[in-house]
C-alpha cells in the first residue's frame, strides 16, 4: 500500500499540489502537517509512521518535505527500512524498494556523513588555531571574583533572600549555588 505524507511550513501555503501528486501516484491514504521543517514534533508524520505496515511504501512529493535535514531524512528512512517499509520521493524519482533507488539513497547518506566529518574537522582546526593564539573557548563566566564577593556579602546578611540576591546579581539560583558553596560561611570557588 502506498501511504502519502505532505507538509507545508505555514498556514499561508497550500497542500493541494502535493496531495494531487500523491493521489496521482496511487497513495491510498495521505497524512499531512502544517509545520516548519525545523520542528521535530510533527503529528502527521508520527501518525503516518504509526499507520504504515511492513511492505508499505511511504511516498512524499519531495524529499525536503519529510526530513528537517539530510541527516534527519536518512534517520527516518533507516527506521522505515528496519520495519521493511519502503520510501519513495516523486520529484527526485527515488524509490528504496528498487536496487537503484537504494543505491542513490545510500550515496546521499555517504555524502551527509562526509559533510559532518568535514564540519567536525573544520571546527577542531579552528579551535586548535584559537588555542594556539591563546584564546579560550566556551561561554563567559556568569560571575567574576567581584560578583562572587558581592554574593558572599549579600548572602551573609540574612535579610536578603536567595531570590533577591539572584535578581541583584542577575544570575539564576543554580548559578549562584554553583559559584558559592557555603561551609561554615567559607566560600569555595567551583569553576
User: Which residue ranges make up each domain of the chain?
Assistant: 2-108, 145-188
pLDDT band with cut points at 50, 70 and 90 for residue 39: low
C-alpha cell at 191: 569553576
pLDDT of residue 2: 94
pLDDT of 99-114, one tens digit each? 888 888 888 778 877 8
For the ranges 12-16, 94-98, 167-171, the lowest mean pLDDT is seen at 12-16
Which residues lie closer than 8 Å to 117 by C-beta, 6 or more apart?
A: none
**What residues are annotated to the active site?**
9
Q: Is residue 162 over pLDDT 60?
A: yes
Which ranges of 58-98 would DSSP assign to H, the alpha helix?
Answer: 70-82
Instruction: Give the separation between CA 19 and CA 189, rounded to whole angstroms.
Output: 61
Q: Is residue 119 over pLDDT 80?
A: yes
Q: Is residue 158 over pLDDT 70?
A: yes
End-to-end CA distance of the chain: 58
Decide: residue 184, CB within 10 A, 0-12 exposed, 13-18 middle, 19+ buried: exposed
Beta bridge partners of 4: 30, 59
- Checking DSSP bridges between strand 181-183 and strand 2-8, what pairing results, if any? unpaired
Domain 2-108 has CATH 3.40.50.2000: no
Q: Mark 41-53 as b/e (b = at least 16 C-beta within 10 Å).
A: ebebbeebbeebe
Amino acid at each position: 500500500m502506498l501511504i502519502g505524507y505532505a507538509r507545508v511550513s505555514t498556514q499561508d501555503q497550500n497542500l493541494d499540489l502535493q496531495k494531487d501528486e500523491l493521489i496521482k501516484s496511487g497513495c491510498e491514504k495521505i497524512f499531512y502537517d502544517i509545520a516548519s521543517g525545523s520542528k521535530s514534533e510533527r503529528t502527521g508524520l508520527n501518525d503516518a509512521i504509526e499507520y504504515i505496515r511492513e511492505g508499505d511504501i511511504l511516498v512524499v512529493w519531495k524529499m525536503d518535505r519529510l526530513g528537517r535535514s539530510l541527516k534527519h531524512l536518512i534517520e527516518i528512512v533507516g527506521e522505515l527500512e528496519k520495519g521493511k517499509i519502503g520510501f519513495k520521493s516523486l520529484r527526485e524519482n527515488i524509490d528504496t524498494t528498487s536496487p537503484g533507488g537504494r543505491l542513490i539513497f545510500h550515496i546521499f547518506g555517504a555524502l551527509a556523513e562526509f559533510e559532518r566529518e568535514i564540519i567536525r574537522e573544520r571546527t577542531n582546526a579552528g579551535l586548535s588555531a584559537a588555542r594556539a593564539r591563546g584564546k579560550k573557548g566556551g561561554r563567559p563566566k556568569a560571575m567574576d571574583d567581584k560578583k562572587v564577593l558581592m554574593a558572599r556579602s549579600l548572602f551573609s546578611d540574612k535579610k536578603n533572600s536567595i531570590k533577591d540576591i539572584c535578581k541583584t546579581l542577575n544570575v539564576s539560583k543554580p548559578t549562584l549555588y554553583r559559584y558559592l558553596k557555603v561551609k561554615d560561611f567559607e566560600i569555595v570557588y567551583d569553576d
